[in-house]
Amino acid sequence: MNQIEIIKNLPYTKPFLFVDELTEISENGVVGNYTFNEKAFFYEGHFKGNPITPGVILTETMAQIGVVCLGIYLLKDKISSEEKNTQIALTSNQVDFYLPVLPNEKVTVISEKEYFRFNKLKCKVRMMNDKNELVCRGTISGMIIAK
């Protein structure tokens, strides 16, 4: 399964799709990126006159690229051979934030699989900005089931 097929199988659409491309993917991890459009719905109110990407959106971006895309890749045989009915649920996350992400900023998400068993995927995930500075990092877990 290639990066285009993985993104096509994501259960999200704009304005809640936070994956532009995947640049690396293997059984052990994924690297992908996303550019935050200055016209995104959340900038209008976060914060007045000083738009900053909300932490919950950064966490969602890390989860979509670092856990969901990897999970789809790991379940590629099931997903490609059956009807698309993938169910995804975030089970836990712990994220520390270090730098803000501004409108039109491109970020790269790097995820390393800690384990995948009983359909639960746990990953160490970090987000870097274009200057290769650490924006945030943490651990995200989710349940991924291809029915």
Structural tokens at position 119: 């359909």
Active site residue 46: yes
Q: In what order do the strands lie in the sheet with 134-146?
A: 21-26, 29-35, 106-117, 120-129, 134-146, 86-97
| CA dist., res. 47 & res. 88, Å (int) | 30
Phi-psi bin for 6: left (phi > 0), alpha (psi -120 to 50), beta? alpha
Q: Could you tell me whether strands 86-97 and 106-117 are parallel, antiparallel, or unpaired per DSSP bridges?
A: unpaired
Which listed residue (1, 46, 90, 108) is catalytic? 46
Q: With contact defined as beta carbons under 8 Å apart, do 123 and 70 qualify?
A: yes
| CA dist., res. 69 & res. 1, Å (int) | 11
Give the catalytic positions in this structure: 46
